[in-house]
Amino acid sequence: MSRIYADADQLVDVYGAMFERVAEDDSIDDLVEQQMVINFRLNDPAADIWVDDRSRPVVTTFESIDVDATLTADLSADSMHELLLGALPLGRALLFRKLKVSGSKS
């Protein structure tokens, strides 16, 4: 059971707003240059987040898109929250299998 999100609807609202804010931000220029499509597969609550960084503005959707992900990240919604806040270091998340990554850029 998630400690952070009451349900998938709340998670989608929060992440939708966050990704909308960064869609045009200059800080994601490196991702756009990499032409990446990232799929975050979250659980507890379940959500499938697709971030298409192949062009500006970066597009985020909560439904599968007709493109293979360059990078797929499987993790709990709480772990994603902690990673974004910096409370869970990336190395620790990988070491303790809180984050599993796959794909051509993993």
From residue 24, alpha-carbon distances to 6, 37, 55, 95 in Å are 29, 16, 10, 32
Asked whether residue 59 carries a pLDDT value surpassing 80, the answer given is: yes
Task: Give the mean model confidence (pLDDT) for residues 57-77.
Answer: 94
The token pair at 51 is: 């971030």
Identify the CA nearest to 69 among candidates 35, 94, 42, 28: 35
Contact between 94 and 101 under an 8 Å Cβ cutoff? The reply is yes
Domains of the chain, CATH where assigned: 8-102 (3.30.1050.10)
Asked whether residue 56 carries a pLDDT value surpassing 90, the answer given is: no
Where do we find the tokens 């009451």? 6
Contact between 88 and 79 under an 8 Å Cβ cutoff? The reply is yes
The pLDDT of residue 23: 85
Contact between 50 and 64 under an 8 Å Cβ cutoff? The reply is yes
Rounded to two decimals, what is the model's pTM?
0.91
20-55 residue pLDDT tens? 998 888 888 888 899 999 999 999 999 999 999 998
The pLDDT of residue 97: 96
Coil, helix or strand for 39?
strand
